[in-house]
Structure 1
Amino acid sequence: MVLILGVDAGGTASKAVVVSPDGTVLGRGTAGPGNPSAVGSVAAVAIGAAVRGALGPHDPGGVVAGVVGVAGVSILTDPGVATAFADQWTDIGLTCPVAVLGDAVTAFASGTGATAGAVLIAGTGAVAALVDGERIVRTADGLGWLLGDEGSGLWLGLQAVRHAARHWSSSGLAVRVALHAGAASADDLVHWAQRLPLGSFAALAPVVCEFAAAGDPAAIAIVGEAVERLIATLDALDAPDAAVVLAGGLLTAATPVRAGVLEALRVRGVAVGTAHDPALGAARLALQGWSSRTTTSR
């Protein structure tokens, strides 16, 4: 049986899908974080686990093409990380070409049939990219928590904790953050935050969105600033006429962040699509590449 593989690997999870040449989904798999910039070569192990889950009982030798969309793809120039990925393909039993692309490319492919445009991603991290086919022409942000990722889930969580530390028990959001942290004082919260693995701050993003939707002034302010920063990131691409695909959990689910971004783009008259299934978008790119090679070889 001929199989096509698609993978979406981000800072929170790795998701894989296996499809037939007619696009029928034959299997799905999910595993842990697959961003090599954040977790190094361990990302390859998580991606491999997702691929194995998607393959299930199917013969890995039947996979004729694969595309993996990876957050932090630039780190694959590191020999150790590149080797870890190659070893995974071998261990799984894949013998076909597996293209590793930026997750912006696969997210864009899952939200539109167009071959070029812009994609704005806000999940654990945040980045905007101008895409042309399988090529990323230009990016903005995507700089990680220390230097950027403004408006992301991690950014929202950090702002919520900072608000609670500065305005202890003065708002509903601050009280909820303290409860989340199990902190009895602002000092407790500071100590908790300093011990917390960085990515864990993103767990507070749904709390911020929930409180903003309920009218909490502090949460509304944080969400409003997130929207402004995401739009500024998109503007940094300097492609005002490009259609935009929204991707990542904050911009594909019904969140106040998505609502704010959609409104800002509506005012500008920008065409907007939504990335529904980046792993499937990756599979579609793999299928297109395979079909093209097959046609050319005839």
Structure 2
Amino acid sequence: MAVVVGSLVIGIDAGGTASKAVVTDLSGAVLGRGAAGPGNPSAAGVSAARAIGSALRSALGPLDPASVTAGVVGVAGCSALADPGVAAAFAAEWAALGLRCEIPVVGDAVTAFAAGGDWAAGAVLIAGTGAVAALVDDLEITRVADGLGWLLGDEGSGLWLGLRAVRFAARRWSAPLARAVAAHAGAATADDLVHWAQALPPFGALAPLVCELADAGDPDAAAIVADGAARLVATLDELEAPDAPVVLAGGLLSADTPVRRAVQATLEGRGATIGTAGDPALGAARLALRRSQ
């Protein structure tokens, strides 16, 4: 039996690695959390809707979905919702959950920005599985840089770092970084590594290894990290808003990584105001509450 506790607000952060959901009351107190698989519809298609629905079911638990009065979903790759099949899958998931209110889907840059500070306008730089920078004004995206996917961009992202490490290893097989990459891939030879890479494994899973080796002083890993950080700053600069506060978001920029430290040092050297997105799912819930008032 569903438990009715008054009006509820939901927030969801769905990216290329995981979908996370939070349920709060109208005061912002967290009542439940849930997580599931990848929720980027550009990469996962209709299965993204199922993952997001699964995360929300876990967050709601015994709470009554009919009590949800507001919600926001922040999604990486939300442009894929223009696909009728993907849009229908999301609509079907909301109906199956028993939600009765409209649940707007926005770019994950909006919810990340909302999770990083109280500013109404500014910039957000995200580096997780992918990478994107966006200008946000009145909680709407007004300009975007990169976010083009790993084939065309996402420079400085976790996937970009991992792919750079694999490319390096295939050419410099005797280097310590190459041996670490080979161990990750289970490759005994460079040809084995090439065969492994052609199957398009999750290259982003190598990003923590690259960061760890960079922190340990490996010069090749450090060079990849430095290049990635420089590319992220260059992406931010494409927004042409040097005086805007900047929220750093995504696994590579919200945690203490060598990528974040390099980006932060550059921005601090410019005198930038910097915030960190602590919990994008909670930021989505706060955004939903703000929009409903």
Flag whether TM exceeds 0.5 (same fold).
Answer: yes
CA–CA distance in 2 between the matches of 1:29 and 1:217? 39
Q: Please point out which of 22, 28, 31 is paired with 1:23.
A: 28
Task: Give, as a single letter, the amino acid of the residue that structure 2 aligns with 1:233.
Answer: T
Tell me the equivalent position of 2:267. 265
Task: Give, as a single letter, the amino acid of the residue that structure 1 aligns with 2:61.
Answer: G
In structure 2, the gaps of 5 or more residues are: 1-5
Task: Give, as a single letter, the amino acid of the residue that structure 2 aligns with 1:236.
Answer: E
Tell me the equivalent position of 1:181. 185
Tell me the equivalent position of 1:2. 7
- The range that moved more, 188-197 or 142-151, is 188-197
Report the alpha carbon displacement of residue 277 of structure 1 after superposing the two structures with TM: 0.2
2:216 maps to 1:214: yes
Query: What SS does the corresponding residue of 1:98 show, helix, strand or coil?
Result: coil
Q: How many residues align?
A: 288
Deviations 1:13-69 (A, max 9, x none): 000000000111000000000000111111000000001010000000000001000
CA–CA distance in 2 between the matches of 1:258 and 1:91? 40
Query: What SS does the corresponding residue of 1:145 show, helix, strand or coil?
Result: coil
CA–CA distance in 2 between the matches of 1:87 and 1:164? 45
Tell me the equivalent position of 1:145. 150
Deviations 1:113-136 (A, max 9, x none): 011100000000000000012310
- The range that moved more, 101-110 or 181-190, is 181-190
**Root mean square deviation, CA, Å:** 0.6
CA–CA distance in 2 between the matches of 1:191 and 1:259? 34
The percent of aligned pairs where both chains have the same amino acid is 69
Tell me the equivalent position of 1:247. 249
Tell me the equivalent position of 1:295. none
Tell me the equivalent position of 1:156. 161
Alignment of 1:29-178 (within 5 A): 29-169=34-174, 171-178=175-182
CA–CA distance in 2 between the matches of 1:19 and 1:191? 47
- The range that moved more, 221-230 or 127-136, is 127-136
2:206 maps to 1:201: no
CA–CA distance in 2 between the matches of 1:118 and 1:289? 20
TM-score (norm 2): 0.97
TM-score (norm 1): 0.96
- The range that moved more, 267-276 or 187-196, is 187-196
Runs of 4+ in 1 over 6 A off after TM superposition: none
CA–CA distance in 2 between the matches of 1:85 and 1:13? 16
CA contact (8 A) 2:10 2:22 kept: yes
Report the alpha carbon displacement of residue 85 of structure 1 after superposing the two structures with TM: 0.5
Instruction: Identify, as 1 or 2, the structure richer in helix.
Output: 1
Deviations 1:213-239 (A, max 9, x none): 000000000000001100000000111
Task: Give, as a single letter, the amino acid of the residue that structure 2 aligns with 1:182.
Answer: G
CA–CA distance in 1 between the matches of 2:57 and 2:270? 44
